[in-house]
């Protein structure tokens, strides 16, 4: 990624900018993501919350259940209700899972990994050369060193 990427909701009320590249990009095929998006998967760019700059409007958090049992906070436009990003693991807004499809140029952030492929729909074809795992994975084995350092700075 060069420069910054911008995105927003369908009605244009909420706009945001990524001020750096994300740490990693997931294409998640879990049944929760399928239900929440009404699609076969979701593509999330993992990035520090302070690297997501609000340009216009304000997204509103909605708590939803998650497979971990700790909940997921989904930030949505208050008008059109498009999901812009999520916080997992108890919903503290430290690390955002930005919905790549809400970027003006979603093709700029292809997935680094396909996760929860155990529930991948059978007609979805995965990209050759991109790692794919049945469930989750060990980020220390797949994330670049810089991304691991950024995560450590967030969580210790």
Quick: pLDDT tens for 54-66: 999 999 999 887 7
Q: What is the 3-state secondary structure (H, E, C) of 106-121?
A: HHHCCCCEEECHHHCC
pLDDT band at 91 (very low <50, low <70, confident <90, very high): low
Mean pLDDT of 22-32: 95
Q: What is the pLDDT of residues 38-51, one digit of tens each?
A: 999 999 999 999 99
- The rounded distance, in Å, linking the Cα atoms of 42 and 66 is 15
Q: Where are the beta strands (DSSP E) in the chain?
A: 5-8, 15-18, 24-28, 42-48, 52-56, 60-64, 72-76, 83-87, 95-99, 113-115
What's the confidence (pLDDT) of residue 71?
78
pLDDT band at 90 (very low <50, low <70, confident <90, very high): low
The residue count for the chain: 156
The residue whose two tokens read 């294409």 is 27
């Amino acid at each position: 990624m060069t420069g910054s990427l911008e995105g927003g909701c369908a009605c244009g009320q909420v706009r945001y900018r990524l001020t750096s590249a994300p740490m990693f990009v997931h294409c998640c095929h879990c049944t929760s993501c399928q239900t929440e998006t009404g699609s076969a998967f979701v593509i999330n760019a993992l990035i520090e919350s302070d690297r997501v700059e609000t340009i216009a409007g304000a997204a509103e958090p909605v708590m939803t259940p998650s497979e971990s049992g700790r909940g997921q906070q989904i930030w949505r436009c208050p008008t059109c209700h498009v999901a812009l990003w999520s916080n997992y693991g108890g919903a503290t807004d430290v690390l955002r899972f930005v919905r790549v499809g809400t970027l003006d140029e979603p093709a700029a952030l292809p997935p680094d990994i396909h996760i929860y492929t155990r529930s991948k729909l059978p007609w979805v074809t995965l990209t050759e050369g991109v790692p794919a795992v049945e469930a989750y994975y060990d980020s220390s084995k797949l994330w670049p060193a810089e991304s691991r350092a950024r995560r450590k700075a967030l969580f210790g």
